[in-house]
Structure 1
C-alpha cells in the first residue's frame, strides 16, 4: 500500500465499522465524489469531480482545512472494484499524501467497512508511527461514522 520512503516502518492504521446499510448504499456514497467532503474529516469542500469518478485514474479536486488555512489539492483513484473496494491517494500538499483503502463486505444486517490509511509521501513520513496512528485512527473512525450516517439515510 505504501509507495513513499520512510525512515520508520509502516504505520497502516485500520479502522472497522459495521454499518446498518447494504454495501450498495455505502458504495453509492463513495461513488458520489461530490459527497466526499460530507464524510471525510478534514476535507472542507469539493471544487470539481472527474466524470469518471470512481474509475481508476479519476480525480476529485478538494480543499482541506478551514479558511484562511485551506489547501487545494486532489484525491486520485488508484484501484476500484465497485461495491467492494476503493483505493485512493489523497494529497494535501505541502503536508503530504496518504494512501487509503476502503473495503466493503456485506453482512446479514448491513455491511462492514474497513478503512486503512498511512502516509505515503511528504513530511508525514518523518512522524513516528505511533504518533501517526494516534492522529489518523480517531479521524478515520469519525469519517466512518459520517459515512454510516449518510449510507443509512441520515442526509434525507
Structure 2
C-alpha cells in the first residue's frame, strides 16, 4: 500500500467541500481527464463518478465508487482505470488547528497493476499521489 500525506492550509470543511463535488475529480486526480456524470447522491456509499481516463483520442470511460464515507473525516473509494486495473483509495482528514492533514492510501486491487510486486507498485503510486495531493491543495487553499 502506498501512503502519502500533506497538510493543507484549509479547514476540514473546505477540503470536504472539494471532495464532495464530484465534478472537480479530474482537477485533482492524476489520470482522470474528464467527467461524464456524477451520481446525485455523491459522496454517499454506493454513489459513482463516471469519468474518463487517458488523453484524447484514446479516452477510456470508467467509474469510481464510494465504499465508505464519514463526512469531514474519511472517504474510501474503489477507483477503476482499465486497462491498468482497479485500486482502493482512502482519504483520511485530520484537523490540525485551522489546517487539515490528509493521508492518502492507495492499493492496487485488480488488473495488471495489482500483478506488479509491491516494491514496483509503491514508487509509481507515491509519485502519482504526491501530485494528486498537490492539486487537491491548490483547489482547497485557493478556492
TM-score of the aligned structures, taking structure 2 as reference length: 0.97
Number of the residue aligned with 1:73: 62
Number of the residue aligned with 2:37: 48
Q: CA deviation at 1:80?
A: 0.1
Number of the residue aligned with 2:79: 90
Residue segments in structure 1 that go unaligned for 5+ positions in a row: 1-11
Q: CA deviation at 1:25?
A: 0.4
* Superposition RMSD in Å: 0.9
Are 1:144 and 2:130 counterparts?
Answer: no
Q: CA deviation at 1:132?
A: 0.7
Per-residue CA deviation, residues 22-66 of structure 1 (Å, 9 max, x unaligned), is 010000000000000000011000000000000000001000111
The runs of at least 4 aligned residues of structure 1 exceeding 3 Å deviation read none
CA–CA distance in structure 1, aligned partners of residues 84 and 45 of structure 2:
24
Residue segments in structure 2 that go unaligned for 5+ positions in a row: none
Aligned counterparts, 1:1-156, within 5 A: 12-153=1-142, 155=143
CA–CA distance in structure 2, aligned partners of residues 91 and 75 of structure 1:
6
Secondary structure in structure 2 of the residue aligned to 1:132 = helix
CA–CA distance in structure 1, aligned partners of residues 120 and 59 of structure 2:
23
Per-residue CA deviation, residues 107-143 of structure 1 (Å, 9 max, x unaligned), is 1130100000010111112111111111110110110
CA–CA distance in structure 1, aligned partners of residues 114 and 141 of structure 2:
35
Report which stretch shifted further, 90-99 or 72-81.
90-99
TM-score of the aligned structures, taking structure 1 as reference length: 0.89
Q: CA deviation at 1:71?
A: 1.2
Return the structure number with greater strand share.
Answer: 2
